[in-house]
Amino acid sequence: MLNKIKSLIGHQGFRKYFFNTGWLMADKIVSIFFGLFIGIWVARYLGPGKYGLLNFAISFVSLFSAVGTLGLDQIIIRNIIREPESRDNILGTSFFLRLFSSVLLLIFVFAVLEIIHASVYDEVIVMIIAFGQIFTNFNIIDYYFQSQVKAKFSGISNVLGRLFSYAARVIFIVLGMSVIWFAVAVVIEQLIKGIFLLYFYLKNKLSVLTWKYSKQTAKNLLKDSWSLIASGIAITIYMGIDQVMIKEMLNNKAVGEYAVAVKLSTFWYFIPMVISSSIFPAIVNAKKQNSKLYFQRIQKVYDLFFLLSVSIALATTFLSGWIVNFLYGSEYVQAAQVLQVYIWAGIIVFHGTIRGNFLITENMQKVGLQFRILGAILNILLNIFFIKYYGIIGAAYATIISYVLPIYLLAPFYSVLRKELTFTWNAYLFKWLWSGKQK
């Protein structure tokens, strides 16, 4: 056994993929754990009002970020793998397209702020964060490294960007700086990541001076990415519109309290993402073998995710008051009530990650796009009503309903969603338990 392990570790292919993935995992660890604790410190320092303003600015800019990135991420990777000789053409065209869209994003964000009559102070904070989107254009180097199985360079750049940003936050707290500087910290992360991506690109004996813009390549890229842009817009609305609407309908303090509940709830979402990505190949292989094994494997994942998400939700519901008070302090007491509701959205999110894999396996990605667009529309409409009458707790209810309803509204039109509902209800009703007893 020991010899086999040594042989595996010494295998060139294993070492290549292991270290490639290792830096990406390090980035996740830094993001999840360092991000949580530094975020708590920032929240306690700023207080609900200023912390709410910062989160409003981040959410507001994120609503337009899908347009800024043009949905080119996976397309760049795919095209470079298919046509490695066109690398400079693809990267150059992508960079100039995204640079142009970033400038448009800045103009559009400023125009919307003027339309909604935001205060000058609010405008400054939002525009600082929006300006940081320009530095994200160097992420196209990240996609190149991914296409070459050299994601370790991306992971290192991500980790360094986050660490510099977290260090800046700590320094700003110690020096007693205003909320504007914490918006600058968001930009610092994007800037440092961009600098190191460029550094590693040059270190690999490559040059940005050889990048070229091609009108035909631009047309092809945009033709392939339009559905991803639409999907990205729907996702960002899904994830950020509630905080923007709370700011406009209530106040910054309410946004801060709501943001705390959201961060504590979404902290667990890395679990289904990691598991889903790990078992996806097994699901695809099962489909090739026979449908019975394929459906059995999917059902087991639904059962597991239901048990995990319910366990987390139950524990958090009973301990919400203690958790919020211990981590964030008595100023955020309202967040505990929101957390008791929002944490239950995790059940739908956990199942949503495996649903995405299921739809891809069935080659029904268009259903996923329709699902997200319908959910985004419902989220906006429900927030208008629920926030008005129930405040920030209403926004949590609106989120859960907008997660649940689309699948029931679309299921009559797609057999794949009707099958997905079967997996869901089998998990909800603990079918694995009582069917096991019968056997």
Dihedral of CA 36/40/42/48: which sign?
A: positive
The confidence score (pLDDT) of residue 30 equals 67
The confidence score (pLDDT) of residue 13 equals 47
The confidence score (pLDDT) of residue 4 equals 45
Q: Residues of the chain whose pLDDT is less than 50?
A: 1, 4-5, 8-9, 11, 13-14, 17-18, 437-439
Which residues touch 111 (CB under 8 Å, ≥6 apart)?
A: none
Residue 11 parent element (H or E): none
The confidence score (pLDDT) of residue 438 equals 43
Cα(249)–Cα(384) distance, integer angstroms: 9
The confidence score (pLDDT) of residue 22 equals 57
Cα(84)–Cα(81) distance, integer angstroms: 6
The confidence score (pLDDT) of residue 5 equals 44
**Average pLDDT, rounded, for the chain:** 82
Buried b (16+ CB within 10 A) or exposed e, 400-418: bbbbeebbeebbeebebbe
- Residue 203's region, left for phi above 0, alpha for psi from -120 to 50, else beta, is alpha
Length of the chain: 439
> What spatial distance separates the first Cα and last Cα of the chain, rounded to whole Å?
37
Structure tokens at 14: 């294993």
The confidence score (pLDDT) of residue 185 equals 94
